[in-house]
Structure 1
Amino acid sequence: MSSQGDQLRQKADKKASSSSGFSFFSSSTAKFEEAHDLYQSAGNAYKMDNMHKEAGDCFCKAAEMALKNDEKDDAANDFWTASKSYKKSHPELAVAALQRTIQLYKEKGRFRQAADRHKEIAAILQQEGGDMAGALEAYEAAGNIYSNEDATASANACYKEAAEIAATLGQYPRAIEHFEKVAQQSLGSALTRYGVKEHYLKAGMCWLATGDVVSTKRAIDNYTSADPSFATTRECQFLNGITEAFDAGDAEGFTAHVAEFDRLTRLDNWKTSLLLTIKRGIAEEPSLT
């Protein structure tokens, strides 16, 4: 016995492919509107039955019907609804539906909503799909649009996510660019200025991960010039300490600085992983015994 979703989808398919009759323009518009509503109803019925793939397929069909009548706002909403159903079991289809949504939003000048959908793609790829490189691209795309729309806080949130992913992927210059950009933006507001020391710390660690001590020290100097208060923070002192230990090939000293910092300020997994990468780059001094 077919489900209600199956029955409604069959009706929608029949309506969508039916003849338009003599009054072509008016009847074709009405035909696609009816098919659109039937596909939406079928999608909702499938959702009630936890048939998420089928629901997503029907919402995408509804979007196609809306596009035939040049109803781009409706189509964008239908593709977005489809993505929510697909996300349950088919993240790659959810991403494809969101990409269609983004395209339509941009055509309509709805850039903030397009940025929101880029951010959703990033989260799906990061959490559901395990595609970190794709998530990095999506966070950057969202951040760029937010920035163009003067949504600075939203842009910075995306750039921070992008920076951490870039560093995880070993793309340190890319990570540094984002961390430094967020730090520069944060300096201008009393509400965000407190977080600057964290952004500088992460950027400095990424510099050190490249193995270029000279550039790392130059970067720290630049940070203290941009924000003189940074020089007195534990983050700056820690950064200077591990840089000097790295430069001296002092693995034990490096570890001691890390342990001392962690004792008062618990290191998260991202920092711990990056510090282990940096430590592996330290040239061990040959034993004298």
Structure 2
Amino acid sequence: MPSKSPAQVLLEKADKKANSSSGWFSSSTTKFEEAGDLYQQAANSFKLEKLFREAGDAFAREAECRENCKETNEAANAWWNAAKAYKRGYPDLAIQALGQTITHLTKSGRFRQAADREKEIGQIYLQEHNDLRKACESYVRAGDWYAQEDAASTANACYKDAADLHADLEEYPQAIARYEIVADHSLSSALTKYSVKEYWLRAGLCALAMNDPVIAKRNLQKYSNQDATFPSTREAKFLAALLQAYEGGDVEAFTGAVFDFDQVTKLDNWKTNILLKIKKLVQDGEIGLA
């Protein structure tokens, strides 16, 4: 018979402790505290053996013991440790464990940490499940929590990620609204003002992809009014050139403008994808027929 691993031995001790009846002189709190410690040791031992599912399960059992002792902070931490173990191949369990962590954190008013964990959930939905909608919801929720904790730049990063996802889902009005919120926040600080042109460029591309030249023109004017330096930026000139080619149904001019911009500022995947959608509208001659 194969001998039990150290982790297995610790797990059995923890189970035994958790299921034991409290004696005359010891309280159930003591019992669960001791069981929690043993589950934690077992979990770390499973991690050493690279058995991440078992490690996650042991941390989850530890979390339940902490909850029985009303140790909210320790429970939140144990659930987070469970999530980190589950992330190694068990994304659904990781999301559940992070949800439990967030419940404890929000109850004790630790919204900054809750936002960190919610952002992790968004990343798992995006990377493991390619579920853009759920990822978007998580980024928005995290952004709201960061904002209320005065972590403006972190909130903005989450809102920007959410805006990108809205655009990927072809929810252009929501994407534009989010980019504009982020741009407004960024305008208020000398440190972040330089990034405003990027957000307005993305919002402008969304207006074109929405097949609404009127909104695209109006927004370009609005952004120029908000910041007098915007019209002289490469981003604003690029948008103006695209808008002109788009309204004239001129595919060649459109392609030329994209090529010129890409020569100086490499287009990322997001911009490339949305520009291909806009180009198709120009090619099909469907301008403004939304």
Output the TM-score relative to the length of structure 2: 0.95
Q: Which amino acid counterpart does residue 188 of structure 2 have in structure 1?
A: G
> What is the CA–CA distance in structure 2 between the aligned matches of 1:154 and 1:189, rounded to whole Å?
14
Q: CA deviation at 1:112?
A: 0.4
Measured in 2, the distance between the counterparts of 1:28 and 1:284 equals 72
- Percent identity, aligned pairs only, is 50
* Structure 1, gaps ≥5 residues long: none
Q: Name the SS of the counterpart of 1:246 in structure 2.
A: helix
- Which residue of 2 is the match for residue 17 of structure 1? 19
1:150-189 alignment, distance < 5 Å: 150-189=150-189
In structure 2, what is the equivalent of residue 85 of structure 1? Answer: 85
Per-residue CA distance 1:130-154 (angstroms, 9 max, x = gap)? 2222211111111011111111011
Q: Is 2:38 the counterpart of 1:38?
A: yes
Whole-angstrom distance in 2 between the partners of 1:56 and 1:283: 53
Shift of 1:285: 5.6
Measured after TM superposition, the shift of residue 283 of structure 1 is: 5.0
Q: Counterpart in 1 of 2:244?
A: 244
Q: Write the distance in 2 (CA, Å) between the matches of 1:8 and 1:80.
A: 21
CA RMSD of aligned residues (A): 1.4
1:118–1:142 CA contact under 8 A, matched in 2: yes
Rounded Cα–Cα distance in structure 2 between residues aligned with 1:247 and 1:141: 38
Tell me the secondary structure at the aligned position of residue 70 of structure 1.
coil
Please say if 1:190 is aligned against 2:187: no
Instruction: Report deviation, 1:50.
Output: 0.1
- CA contact under 8 A between 1:77 and 1:101: conserved in structure 2? yes
Return the offset for 1:86: 0.5
The C-alpha deviation readout for 1:1-28, integer Å capped at 9, x for no partner, is 22111111111111111111335xx520
Q: Indicate conservation of the 8 Å contact 1:56/1:86, yes or no.
A: yes
CA distance in 2, matches of 1:109, 1:88: 29
Moved more, 43-52 or 174-183: 174-183
Unaligned 5+ segments in structure 2 are: none
What's the CA shift for 1:224?
A: 0.6
> Separation in 2 of the partners of 1:86 and 1:285?
50
Question: Partners in 1 of 2:96 and 2:131 — Cα distance?
Answer: 14
Question: For residue 202 of structure 1, what is the amino acid of its counterpart?
Answer: R
Question: C-alpha distance in 2, partners of 1:107/1:283?
Answer: 54
Task: Find the residue that maps to 2:4 and give its secondary structure.
Answer: coil
Distance 2:155 2:31 in 1: 42
Match of 1:224? 224
Where 1:189 maps in the other structure, the secondary structure is coil
Tell me which residue corresponds to 1:203.
Answer: 203
Matched residues in 1 for 2:229 and 2:103: separation? 44
1:3 counterpart = 2:5 = yes
State the distance in 2 between where 1:283 and 1:41 align: 63
Q: Secondary structure at the match of 1:112?
A: helix
| Match of residue 280 from structure 1 | 280
Distance 1:34 1:179 in 2: 50
Paired with 1:167 and 1:2, the residues of 2 have a C-alpha distance of: 53
Partners of 1:81 and 1:284 in 2: CA distance: 53
Q: 1:86-125 counterparts in 2 under 5 A?
A: 86-125=86-125
Whether the 8 Å contact between 1:92 and 1:129 is mirrored in structure 2 is no
CA contact (8 A) 1:95 1:121 kept: yes
Distance 1:285 1:271 in 2: 21
Query: Residues 148-170 of structure 1, C-alpha deviation per residue, up to 9 Å, x if partnerless?
Result: 11110110111111111221121
**Is contact 1:250–1:284 with CA below 8 Å preserved after alignment?**
no
**Cα shift readout 1:186-208 (whole Å, capped 9, x = no counterpart):** 11111111111111000110111
Letter in 2 for 1:159: Y
- Say how many residue pairs are matched: 284
Partner of 1:57: 57
TM-score by length of 1: 0.95
The amino acid that maps onto 1:94 is A
